[in-house]
Amino acid sequence: MADAVLSSDPPARRIITRPNAVRRFFQRKSTIAFLMALPLIILIFGLVIYPAFYAVYLSTLRKSMTSVAWMRNCAWLPDVICTYLPFGNMQFLFTRETFWKVVYQSCLFAITAVIFKALLGFILAHFVHNIPAKGQRKWRGMLLIPWVIPPAMSTLAWLWLFDPSYSAFNYVLTGAGFDRIPWTGDANWARFAVILVNIWVGAPFFMIMYLAALKSVPDQLYEAAAIDGANWWQRIWYVTLPMMRNIIAITALFSTIVTFANFDIVRVLTAGGPLDQTHLFATWAFKLGIEGGDIPLGASVSLFMVPILAVAAIFILRDINQRGNEA
């Protein structure tokens, strides 16, 4: 009897207290915070992280078109393994000549473009920093315009400037007595053209970042260097560069990621031609995956970007954490 009373009591209390507990749970700071960040979490997991892993899964699938080539590649293995080999797409890619061209072109494109963008940005930032403060805003505004125009639109203008028969550049060249240049028709000139356009689009970003960094270098350091008799080169090497080291690194790493994963410029300017000589991973993946309909193969191609992107991302993260600790 007493037992029954005792045992019936707690559930009754629990029923009464539950609404309060629920309400208290929803009024807790961390719960509110989690709910506010929930859309972000869903977006990141559903549309970035899940697709990234889905790409890995897709790359292990096969399309009937390539499966014959797979079989040829792994014929020396037992049938059971060969039929279900998960990395057949990659293996197939390694045997393709175009794939190695794409690797070469992507590396050449990214390295050359980033170096020249950084150099041009550094020099331009100095010029802008050099003129009276009153005029800086105007020049800075003018020099950032390539970055503001959508790249697909500005590349169209470049395509028209490079046009083989009515080319504005070739008009100037023939006028000066030189031969016409097949800007997008010859492999090396086409490589030059896509890199040039990429530099044109990206250099203003470097300029803005470096200009901000230049302005944060205290003038006293230059005065001290001048008193010590440092020449211009020593001032850049021992004062400017060490002070800007972090910004230079972060900007270059950012740009490496964006340049390596570039799509718009190559797609519009050469579409990978002539003879697949200017394809980057992204444009080739598009051609194989979306236009060619071989999604597994396209996914495999785009996954080859991951190692370089990951290395750059790790370095960026390290730099940003360091800066966070210093501050």
Q: Is 157 in the site for other proteins (CB under 8 A)?
A: yes
Burial class (CB in 10 A: 0-12, 13-18, 19+), 111: middle
Q: Which of 166, 177, 179, 307 is in the footprint of other proteins by CB under 8 A? A: 166
CB 216 to other proteins: min, Å: 9
Q: Among residues 163 and 186, whose Cβ is nearest to other proteins?
A: 163
Looking at the Cβ atoms of 63 and 71, the one nearer to other proteins is: 63
Among 191, 205, 269, 276, binds other proteins (CB under 8 A): 205
Residue number with CB closer to other proteins (84 or 127) = 127
What the block records as the tokens of 251 is 């900007």
Q: Which of residues 27-46 bind other proteins (CB under 8 A)?
A: 29-34, 36-37, 39-41, 43-44
- Give the single-character DSSP code of 288: I
Q: Are 214 and 297 in contact (CB under 8 A)?
A: no
Sign of CA dihedral 212, 215, 217, 218: negative
Binding mask 42-71 for other proteins (x = CB under 8 A): -xx--xxxxxx-xx--x-------------
**Among 10, 150, 177, 307, interactor with other proteins by CB under 8 A:** 150
Mark 308-327 with x for binding to other proteins (rule: CB under 8 A) and - for no binding. Answer: -x--xx--xx--x--xx---
Tell me: does residue 107 bind other proteins (CB under 8 A). no
Exactly one of 88, 202, 272, 289 binds other proteins (CB under 8 A); that residue is: 289
Residue 34's contacts (CB-CB under 8 Å, 6 or more residues apart) are none
ω into 204 cis (within 30 of 0): no
Query: Which residue has 């090497």 as its token pair?
Result: 237
Of residues 96 and 141, the one with the C-beta less far from other proteins:
141
Q: Which is nearer to other proteins, 8 or 130 (CB)?
A: 130
- Which CB, 82 or 309, lies closer to other proteins? 309
* Cβ at position 149, least distance to other proteins in Å: 4
Which C-beta is closer to other proteins: that of 22 or that of 212? 212
Please, which of residues 117-146 interact with other proteins by CB under 8 A? 120, 123-124, 126-128, 130-132, 137, 139-146
Q: How far is CA 190 from CA 70, 117, 132, in A?
A: 33, 18, 40
Does position 160 interact with other proteins (CB under 8 A)? The reply is yes
For residues 233 to 272, the per-residue mask of contacts with other proteins, x marking binding by CB under 8 A and - elsewhere, is: x-xx---x------x--xx--x--xx--xxxx--xx----
Neighbours of 211 (CB within 10 A): 21
3-state helix, strand, coil in the chain (%, to 5): 80, 0, 20
Q: What type of residue sits at position 263?
A: F
| Options 62-70, 87-95, 176-184, 305-313: segment touching other proteins (CB under 8 A) | 305-313
Spell out the alpha helix ranges (H) of the chain: 2-27, 29-44, 50-60, 64-73, 79-83, 88-94, 97-130, 133-143, 145-148, 151-161, 168-175, 187-215, 219-227, 232-235, 241-260, 264-269, 281-286, 295-303, 306-326
Alpha-carbon span 88 to 77, nearest angstrom: 12
Beta-carbon-side half-sphere exposure of residue 186 (alpha carbons within 13 Å): 9
| Shortest Å distance, C-beta 172 to other proteins | 8
